[in-house]
Amino acid sequence: MTAQLIDGNALSRQLREEVALRAGALRARGIVPGLAVVLVGDNPASQVYVRNKVKACQDGGLHSVLEPYPATLSEADLLARVDALNNDPAIHGILVQLPLPAHIDAQKVIEAISPEKDVDGFHVASAGALMVGQPGFWPCTPYGCMKMLESINYDLKGKHAVVIGRSNIVGKPMALMLLQKNATVTICHSGTQNLKALTLQADVVVAAVGKRNVLTADMVKPGAVVIDVGMNRNDEGKLCGDVDFAGVKEVAGWITPVPGGVGPMTITMLLVNTLEAAERASTVGHSV
């Protein structure tokens, strides 16, 4: 193996220690940072993720409440719940786990979350803030990828970064964050022609598609940084990313594993955003 591993578990442990310290400082002022996780339906993968999120909060000294609802919950009832959480002073961050059942308009629910509590960074106000470089919550997955690049002291200035995938929650915000750090950014998607010709030029590749082996060794420039966001299952039912890890690790300079890469970092950045939300809430609204 020539590539060095960027270990998302190790980096998460380090960052979560900082979170626990900052949470402790807030608690000393009588403020317990609080996250509400809303889960609608009984998707087994979602249940695992939300349980991990709630546990990570508790470990970090944050208060977290899991609100499970049946898949039959109406959109109106969910919107009412979000409204109640918006007005709950013990809650600083609200996460509505996606995907939502088909009868609920997910975008409508996301827009109902107060931007001050949008720790997922999915609200249109958060997306706009990222786009124009104003303070706001960054989506946790691409934010975690940026922290991984930072952890290896990677200077993005003038580097060619290729992002595969253009979703609103991963690919697009990822491209904006890389651009903000002065990379030259190419965004690829299902209509991209000759993906390999593009990835071969890349100093950094972020794969966020949701298909195994989207990136293979023959598509990677020697020494490149490869970040694997994908979460898939292989034929044996084991978790794997979008990158052919065994092949690509022989060519790349750095690589993130799945599991143990971007996944844990996503949860870590959720804790960071929740803490940030609580810190911001503690410094405003004291006019009386």
Ligand X SMILES: Nc1nc(=O)c2c([nH]1)NC[C@@H]1CN(c3ccc(C(=O)N[C@@H](CCC(=O)O)C(=O)O)cc3)C=[N+]21
Residues labelled catalytic: 53, 97, 120
- Is residue 239 a contact residue for ligand X (CB under 6 A)? yes
**In which residue are the tokens 């006019």 written?**
287
Among residue numbers 113 through 142, which ones bind ligand X (CB under 6 A)? 120, 140
**In which residue are the tokens 């000393």 written?**
28
- Cβ proximity to ligand NDP: between 26 and 170 the closer is 170
Closest CA to 2 of 253, 275, 277, 282: 253
- Is residue 145 a contact residue for ligand X (CB under 6 A)? no
Task: Say how many C-beta atoms besides its own lie within 10 A of residue 222's C-beta.
Answer: 9
Instruction: With contacts defined by CB under 6 A, name the span among 150-158, 194-202, 264-272, 278-286 that binds ligand X.
Output: 264-272
Beta-strand relationship, 4-5 and 34-40: unpaired
- Cβ proximity to ligand NDP: between 82 and 269 the closer is 269
Q: Is 282 annotated as a binding residue?
A: no
Closest CA to 205 of 161, 253, 158: 161
- Which residues of this protein are in contact with ligand NDP, per CB under 6 A? 141, 164-167, 169-171, 188-192, 195, 208-211, 214, 229-232, 262-263, 266
For residue 167, the partner it binds in ligand NDP, ligand X, none, with Cβ less than 5 to 8 A by kind, is ligand NDP
Residue 116 CB, nearest distance to ligand X (Å)? 17
- Is residue 264 a contact residue for ligand X (CB under 6 A)? yes
Residue 6 buriedness (CB in 10 A; 0-12 / 13-18 / 19+): buried
For residue 98, the partner it binds in ligand NDP, ligand X, none, with Cβ less than 5 to 8 A by kind, is ligand X
Cα 103 to Cα 122: distance, rounded to the nearest angstrom? 20
Residue 184 CB, nearest distance to ligand NDP (Å)? 19
- Cβ proximity to ligand NDP: between 163 and 281 the closer is 163
Among residue numbers 13 through 52, which ones bind ligand X (CB under 6 A)? 48-49, 52
Cα 207 to Cα 48: distance, rounded to the nearest angstrom? 23
Q: Is 167 annotated as a binding residue?
A: yes
Q: What are the b/e assignments for 58-96, b being 16+ CB within 10 Å?
A: eebbbbbebeebeeebebeebbebbeebeeeeebbbbbb
Q: Is 165 annotated as a binding residue?
A: yes
Residue 24 CB, nearest distance to ligand NDP (Å)? 26
Chosen residue from 115, 131, 260, 282 binding ligand X by CB under 6 A: 260
Residue 94 CB, nearest distance to ligand X (Å)? 10
For residue 49, the partner it binds in ligand X, ligand NDP, none, with Cβ less than 5 to 8 A by kind, is ligand X
Q: What is the 3-state secondary structure (H, E, C) of 126-192?
A: HHHHHHHCCCCCCCHHHHHHHHHHHHCCCCCCCCEEEEECCCCCCHHHHHHHHHHCCCEEEEECCCC
Cα 206 to Cα 170: distance, rounded to the nearest angstrom? 10
**How much is the CA Rg of the chain, to the nearest whole Å?**
19
Q: Which residues bind ligand X (CB under 6 A)?
A: 48-49, 52, 95-98, 120, 140, 231, 239, 258-260, 263-264, 266-267
Q: Write out the binding residues for NADP(+).
A: 165-167
Q: Write out the binding residues.
A: 165-167
